[in-house]
């Protein structure tokens, strides 16, 4: 039987999130000793634990069929792979930062400046598009200390909260791009492995849809049902069940997580009571 090989980061937050996603997809993995590879117990998939910046190369070469990593690594390595799904976690921005006492006006500030980064290709492409000439100092780690030791005038790095920049006397001045975890694949998957990948993608999308939506239950007077239904379209339309109390019904529907606070205010104004919001584990449209 064919096995789909998936490369994930061997340690760190992205690794944990990747394994959590597989678990939420119902895939059982045993890797208690943190070996370099593990085989799923109930799905034809083998997990390879690798450095994230090596994953694009391994997927391009077919050592791994698919991989989970940040978009930033895909862009920087520029390998011949397909980005097949954005996964919605490990979000960050890639930003330019300068010493906090410097006065910043616009991108022209960087003309002729030295900038330290672990992502020279992304940075070079950005400044080339903006017709600004810079000197790029490529370093593999601890980018944020480059200005304090005199290596560079500015830095370009991944930013999540910005606290690391502040601790090193820097301020964020320009967001170049945003990145999140993605699923990439080899461009020449076998037909058998494509079938396995399609099954995995089906599960991933069901998990992601569940996280983006909430199940809502409420009680309302029958006289308000039409107006409430216009606010709660649901997947097709709300489910309406009569209550024991005369002229009242219970409505069940699905709403997007980003919208439910605004929708709840409308529902209350229309007379809805006993509103319950319940997480959805998986959702298949």
pLDDT tens string 184-226 = 999 999 999 999 999 999 999 999 999 989 999 999 999 999 9
Per-residue pLDDT tens for 103-113?
999 999 999 99
Domain span(s) for CATH 3.30.70.120 in the chain: 213-279
- Least confident piece of the model among 40-44, 149-153, 232-236, 275-279: 232-236
Supply the pLDDT for residue 138.
95
Top CATH class, 92-179? alpha beta
Domain span(s) for CATH 3.40.190.10 in the chain: 4-88+180-189, 92-179
- Domain 4-88+180-189 in CATH 3.40.50.2300: no
Identify the band that residue 31 occupies on the pLDDT scale cut at 50, 70 and 90. Answer: low
Residue 115 has pLDDT above 60, yes or no: yes
Supply the pLDDT for residue 65.
98
pTM here is: 0.86
Residue 125 has pLDDT above 70, yes or no: yes
Q: Are 211 and 281 in contact (CB under 8 A)?
A: no
Using CA atoms, how far apart are residues 36 and 50, in angstroms rounded to an integer? Answer: 7
Q: Are 74 and 177 in contact (CB under 8 A)?
A: no
Residue 33 has pLDDT above 80, yes or no: no
Top CATH class, 213-279? alpha beta
> β-strands 4-9, 66-70: how paired?
parallel
Beta-carbon contacts of 43 under 8 Å, excluding residues fewer than 6 positions away, are 25, 26, 27, 28, 200
Q: Are 123 and 136 in contact (CB under 8 A)?
A: yes
pLDDT > 70 in the chain, percent = 97
Supply the pLDDT for residue 191.
95
Strand, helix or coil for residue 84: strand
Length of the chain, in residues: 285
Per-residue pLDDT tens for 231-271?
886 667 788 999 999 999 999 999 888 888 888 888 999 99
Count of C-beta atoms within a 10 Å radius of residue 25 = 20
């Amino acid at each position: 039987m064919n096995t789909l090989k998936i490369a994930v980061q061997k340690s760190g937050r992205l690794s944990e999130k990747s394994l959590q996603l597989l678990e939420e997809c119902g895939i059982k993995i045993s890797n208690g000793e943190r070996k370099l590879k593990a085989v799923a117990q109930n799905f034809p998939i083998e997990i390879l634990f690798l450095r994230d910046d090596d994953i694009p190369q391994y997927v391009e070469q077919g050592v791994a069929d698919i991989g989970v990593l940040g978009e930033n690594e895909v862009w920087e390595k520029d390998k011949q792979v397909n980005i097949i799904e954005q996964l919605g976690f490990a979000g960050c921005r890639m930003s330019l930062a300068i010493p906090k006492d410097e006065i910043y006006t616009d991108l022209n500030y960087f003309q002729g400046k030295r900038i330290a980064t672990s992502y020279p290709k992304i940075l070079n492409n950005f400044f080339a598009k903006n017709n600004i000439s810079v000197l790029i100092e490529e370093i593999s780690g601890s980018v944020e200390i480059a200005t304090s030791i005199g290596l560079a005038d500015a830095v370009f790095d991944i930013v999540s909260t910005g606290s690391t920049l502040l601790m090193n006397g820097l301020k964020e001045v320009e967001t170049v791009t945003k990145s999140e975890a993605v699923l990439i694949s080899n461009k020449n998957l076998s037909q058998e492995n494509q079938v396995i990948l399609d099954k995995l993608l089906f599960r991933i999308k069901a998990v992601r849809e569940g996280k983006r939506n909430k199940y809502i239950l409420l009680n309302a007077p029958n006289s308000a049902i039409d107006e409430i239904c216009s606010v709660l379209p649901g997947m097709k339309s709300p489910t309406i069940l009569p209550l024991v109390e005369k002229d009242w019904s219970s409505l069940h529907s699905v709403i997007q997580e980003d919208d439910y606070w605004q929708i709840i205010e409308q529902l209350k104004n229309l007379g809805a009571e006993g509103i319950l919001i319940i997480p959805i584990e998986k959702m298949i449209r």
